[in-house]
Amino acid sequence: MENLRQTDQVIRGWLKEIRKDVLGELHDPLSVAEKSSRKDLVTNVDKANEKKIIKYIRELDPEAKILGEEGQGDRVTDMQGHVWIIDPLDGTLNFVKQRDNFAVMIALYIDGTGVLGYIMDVMRDIIYGGGPQLGVFNQSGQLPKPANISLKDGLLGVSGPMLIHDKYHLQAIDEASSGVRIIGSAGIEFIQVLTGKQNGYISHLMPWDFAAGKILAETLDLSVTKVDGTPVDMLSSNDVLVSTRDTHKDILNMIR
Ligand code: IPD
Ligand code: CA
Ligand code: CA
Ligand code: CA
């Protein structure tokens, strides 16, 4: 692999190609299949994106391990060496129902440390990417660290099912915020937090849902942990809390 800044440009190039592919499919009938339920879908576009991203990664970084949601990568059991974690289409239900509010996410971890992360908001044509050594950039420039606002002063993103089931007394936590937002794409929710439009996001997520967002959020001095405040596990599902540091403290105080 070349140096990080060159790799950053290469990955942004992949994402632009993927975006062209997705836009090309936008008005064609989708092939949609149910996975675990009627709310858990996969389309031909999810699979095609994953196949193409894996091909790109294999060309760039042949020795690496690849964890992808749709299973065309490797069976990854540890975080040693180069591990790429990809969500080829995040917010599939939004993609199917809205043709909006979906993302493509790519992350590179080396020996367990997040090095590069990318979230592309496909319909708004914005790629948020970078990492601890580069900073976080989109096409307009470098993102500043979001203001460290408290729970009561911001909008909190949540997952619909967690709110409905009142997990962690989420309804009281939401009541304590300025308001609740439910977008339905972990990637787009992470973007809201990275850009300071929401002070946090809480959801039950798989590694590909948060791998890129975690790298970008931590680079911007945001907190990313499990909802109980312990470190997230990169190889299993987690109830994830990403937020400003003060909102993190406020939420943990309400949960404990
Ligand atoms: C889903 C979305 C959704 C989140 C789910 C994820 P997918 O990703 O990010 O917002 O609540 O947990 O599975 O399956 O559309 O890539
Ligand atoms: Ca899925
Ligand atoms: Ca996802
Ligand atoms: Ca997905």
The reported pLDDT for the residue numbered 2 is: 60
Mean pLDDT, all residues of the chain = 97
Say how far apart CA 98 and CA 153 lie, in whole Å: 30
Give the Å distance between the CA of 93 and the centre of ligand 4. Answer: 9
Ligand found nearest the CA of 186: 1
209 lines ligand 1 (CB under 6 A): yes
pLDDT in tens, 203-233: 999 999 999 999 999 999 999 999 999 999 9
- Identity at 81, one-letter amino acid code: G
Distance (Å, whole) CA 214 – CA 59 = 25
Residue range 4-142 forms a domain whose CATH class is alpha beta
Q: Which residues pair with 136 in a beta bridge?
A: 130
Looking at CATH, the fold of the domain delimited by 151-255 is given as D-Maltodextrin-Binding Protein; domain 2 (3.40.190)
DSSP symbol at 64: -
Tens-place pLDDT, residues 47-64? 999 999 999 999 999 999
- Supply 55's token pair: 């091909």
pLDDT band at 151 (very low <50, low <70, confident <90, very high): very high
Nearest-CA neighbor of 129 among 92, 95, 103, 163?
103
Residue 9's pLDDT is what?
98
Determine the distance separating the centroid of ligand 2 and the alpha carbon of 85, expressed in angstroms. Answer: 14
pLDDT digits (tens, 9 = 90+) for 86-96: 999 999 999 99
pLDDT for residue 1 is more than 70? no
Residue boundaries of the structural domains of the chain: 4-142, 151-255
